[in-house]
A and B are shown apart, each in its own frame.
Chain A
Amino acid sequence: MCLGVPLKLIEVDGETGIVEMGGVRRRVNLSLVEGVEAGKYVIVHAGFAITVMDEKEAEETLKLLNEMIGTSEE
């Protein structure tokens, strides 16, 4: 059961937070993660945030993919 989606946290309210998915706002439980703030991306599974996305690593991955596309178009 790996179904999980990265979603942006709009609000943090103690143990829970609000994310937006497809224009709909949903509440997620934040008990399993630490150091969350509004603006960060969390991976949500069955109503719970299971981790905060590492933006530095995400940027690295995006950079790598962009470079690759750039190279293949030469």
Chain B
Amino acid sequence: MDLSILKKERAVIALIEKLKEKLKYIKRTLNIMEVCGTHTMTAYRSGLGKVMREMGINLISGPGCPVCVTSDRTISTAAYLVKNYSNLILATFGDMARVPTSEGPLMKVVPAENSEVKVVYSTEEVLKLARANPEKEVVFLAAGFETTIPSIAYLVKKAKEENLKNISLISAMKLVPPPLKVILDAKEIALDGFIYPGHVSVIIGSKPYRFIAEDYGIPGAITGFEPVDLIMGVMSIVEQISDGRAEVDIVYKRAVKPDGNPVARKLMEEVFHVGDAEWRGFGVIPESGMYPEKEFMAEERFSIGEFEVWENRGCRCAEVVRGVAEPEECPLFGKVCTPESPMGACMVSVEGVCLIHYKYGREVPFEAS
């Protein structure tokens, strides 16, 4: 199977022409929210965002960057633990370690004796750390959406099976559909469609988004991450609008089934329960996070004292994740806040809108280090 055509420019050009034809019957500018940071990256890296804007389609970035929407309180809790408890390994995915907080970014925190911050790429590494260091506590700052949550559930399940008593989680696990409802109800932006995240949908399928089509009458497309996928997703939305339909159309058919991945979901539901969660930019959203049993929660295992939760004045990350502000509208963007010296999470994460705009959106050609 030769997948190379997915990356061919000729395919992109042909699809843009087709989209232009379909837009002939739409007489207004369309606002389409692409939820996932990886879609923002596709749009900006390929220049498609600009092309679409010239065609009358505004692609607006949504809250699909798990690092960006993790609260300062959550990251500061992790910092607190590694600073104040000896023989503790704080395991975290890479981007999270660089987000600025009142305690400094995790990677710059001075750990207590025999403690350390360890960057991991997979939850299997967390298991390896726990097995290799039985005398230490391994606390995992567990961040991610439904794409990642099953692998974190696997970690907890294995810990139980192997009777590993030295693993706990600080949960930053979040669900994608709830903030979309908050955005719709807040009515800060008028949206004509949604590009739904391709890999979250691999896990959850199309059902969780149906309320957006049925209750709000807004069309959407579950979309993959190549430029051709993004154009096909937008095309589906334009077709739905022209036909007067509002559905959840699976355009990323090679990866997403209507019922998602039941094996992964069963594992998530077996090990975690849904609860309220605090989101940067949104405050507390009910039923939007996932948590393990108390015995695996770091907040229950360790006594956590007072610490300052930092508010970075001037940083507009909270508005950027809601789709209400563009990075360019933030006074810090590109001046004080750059990838080398980030002021907020949106400039740190590879899926952060600010970082993506900085790397790919500038007029002057620029190579980020």
Contacts and interface: CB of A to CB of B under 8 A. Distances in A.
A32 B154 contact: yes
A65 B11 contact: yes
Interface in A33-74: 33-34, 41, 43, 45-48, 50-51, 53-55, 57-62, 65-66, 68-69, 71-72
A55 B64 CA distance: 28
Nearest to B253: A57
B364 interface: no
B199 interface: yes
B123 A2 contact: no
A41 B264 CA distance: 18
Contacts of A34: 263
Nearest to A71: B14
Interface stretch (B97-105, B140-148, B285-293, B312-320): B140-148
Contacts of A1: 37-38, 65-67, 143-145, 147-148, 351
B267 A32 contact: yes
The DSSP consensus for interface residues of chain A is mixed
Contact of B10 (A3, A33, A47, A69): A69
Given A29-B124, A33-B263, A34-B263, A50 B3 contact: no
B228 interface: yes
A2 B199 contact: yes
Contact of B228 (A4, A41, A43, A65): A65
B3 A65 contact: no
B187 interface: no
Contacts of A2: 36-39, 64, 145, 147, 197-200, 225, 351
B254 A61 contact: yes
A21 B135 CA distance: 36
B255 A43 contact: yes
B36 A58 contact: no
Nearest to B266: A32
Nearest to A67: B14
Interface in A1-43: 1-4, 6, 29, 31-34, 41, 43
A58 B147 contact: no
A28 B264 CA distance: 15
B261 A47 contact: no
Contacts of A54: 253-255, 257
Contact of B14 (A3, A50, A69): A69
B276 interface: no
Interface in B1-35: 1-3, 5-6, 8, 10-11, 13-15, 17-18
Contacts of B10: 69, 72
Interface of B: 1-3, 5-6, 8, 10-11, 13-15, 17-18, 36-39, 64-67, 93, 121-125, 143-145, 147-148, 150-151, 154, 197-200, 202-203, 225, 228, 253-257, 261, 263-264, 267, 350-351
Interface of A: 1-4, 6, 29, 31-34, 41, 43, 45-48, 50-51, 53-55, 57-62, 65-66, 68-69, 71-72
Q: Which 3 A-B pairs have the closest CB atoms?
A: A47-B122, A58-B254, A2-B38
